[in-house]
Amino acid sequence: MAPVDETKKEWNFGLLYHDADKKALSEELEAIKKRNLDFSAKWKANGGYLEDPGMLEQALDEYENIASTIGVSGKPGYYYWLKYQLDQQNSEIKAELSKIDDLGTLIENELEFFTQGISRIPAEKQAVFLNYPGLFKYKHLLQRLFDSAKYLLTEPEEKILNLTGKTAQGNWVDMIADFLSREERKILQEDGEVKEANFSQILESINSIDKKVRDSAAEALNDIFSKHAPAAEYELNSVLHNKKVSDELRGFTRPDVSRHFADDIETEVVDSLIEAVTSRFDISQRFYKLKAGLLGVEKLQYHERNVDYGSKDDKYDFDKSAGLVSKVFTGLDAEFGSIFNDFLKEGKIDVFPKKGKDSGAFCVHMEKELPVFVMLNHTGRLNDVITLAHEMGHAINFELMKKEQNGLNCGTYTCTAEVASTFMEDFVLDEIEKGTYDARRLEILMERLNGDVSSIQRQVACYNFEKDLHALYRSEGFLPLKRIGELFLKNMSAYMGEAVEMSPGAENWWVYWSHIRSYFYVYSYASGVMISKSLKNMVGDDLGFVQKVKKFLGMGTSVSPRESFDALGIDIADKGFWMKGLEELDSMVTEAEELARKLGKI
pLDDT at position 89 is: 85
Helices 481-496 and 281-294: crossing angle in degrees, nearest 10, is 80
Residues in CB range of 324: below 8 A, 6 or more apart:
316, 385, 428, 431, 432
Checking 547-552 for CB contacts under 8 A at 24+ apart, the result is 547/333, 549/423, 550/333, 550/335, 550/400, 552/419
Indicate whether 281 belongs to any domain: no
* End-to-end Cα, the chain, rounded Å: 40
The pairing of strands 349-350 and 362-364 is unpaired
Indicate whether 421 belongs to any domain: no
Confidence of residue 283 (pLDDT cuts 50, 70, 90): very high
pLDDT digits (tens, 9 = 90+) for 333-360: 999 999 999 999 999 999 999 888 887 8
DSSP string across 88-125: TT-HHHHHHHHHHHHHHHHHHHHHHHHHHHHHTS-HHH
CB–CB of 572/562 below 8 Å?
Answer: yes
**CATH number of the domain residue 28 falls in:** 1.20.140.70
pLDDT digits (tens, 9 = 90+) for 6-49: 778 999 999 999 888 899 999 999 999 999 999 999 999 999 99
247 has a pLDDT exceeding 60: yes
Angle at the Cα of 29 (from 401 to 169), degrees rounded to 5? 75
Indicate whether 85 belongs to any domain: yes
Question: Once rounded to an integer, what is the mean pLDDT over residues 457-481?
Answer: 97
pLDDT at position 462 is: 98
Residues in CB range of 23: below 8 A, 6 or more apart:
none
Indicate whether 479 belongs to any domain: no
pLDDT digits (tens, 9 = 90+) for 416-440: 888 999 999 999 999 998 888 999 9
160 has a pLDDT exceeding 80: yes
Indicate whether 511 belongs to any domain: no
393 has a pLDDT exceeding 60: yes
312 has a pLDDT exceeding 70: no
Residue numbers of the domain that contains 146: 10-168
5 has a pLDDT exceeding 80: no
CA 288 to chain centroid, in Å, comes to 25
CB–CB of 394/363 below 8 Å?
Answer: yes
pLDDT digits (tens, 9 = 90+) for 90-114: 999 999 999 999 999 999 999 999 9
- To the nearest 10°, the Cα dihedral for 12, 15, 21, 25? -130
Whole-number percent of the chain with pLDDT over 70: 99
Indicate whether 110 belongs to any domain: yes
441 has a pLDDT exceeding 80: yes
Average model confidence (pLDDT) across the chain: 94
Indicate whether 1 belongs to any domain: no
Q: What is the pTM of this model?
A: 0.85
pLDDT digits (tens, 9 = 90+) for 492-503: 999 999 999 999
- The number of folded domains in the chain is 1
Confidence of residue 464 (pLDDT cuts 50, 70, 90): very high
3-state helix, strand and coil shares in percent for the chain, rounded to the nearest 5: 70, 5, 25
Q: How many CB atoms lie within 10 A of CB 264?
A: 20
Residues in CB range of 465: below 8 A, 6 or more apart:
487, 488, 491, 492, 510, 516
Number of helices (H) and strands (E) in the chain: give both, helices first: 25, 7
Indicate whether 277 belongs to any domain: no
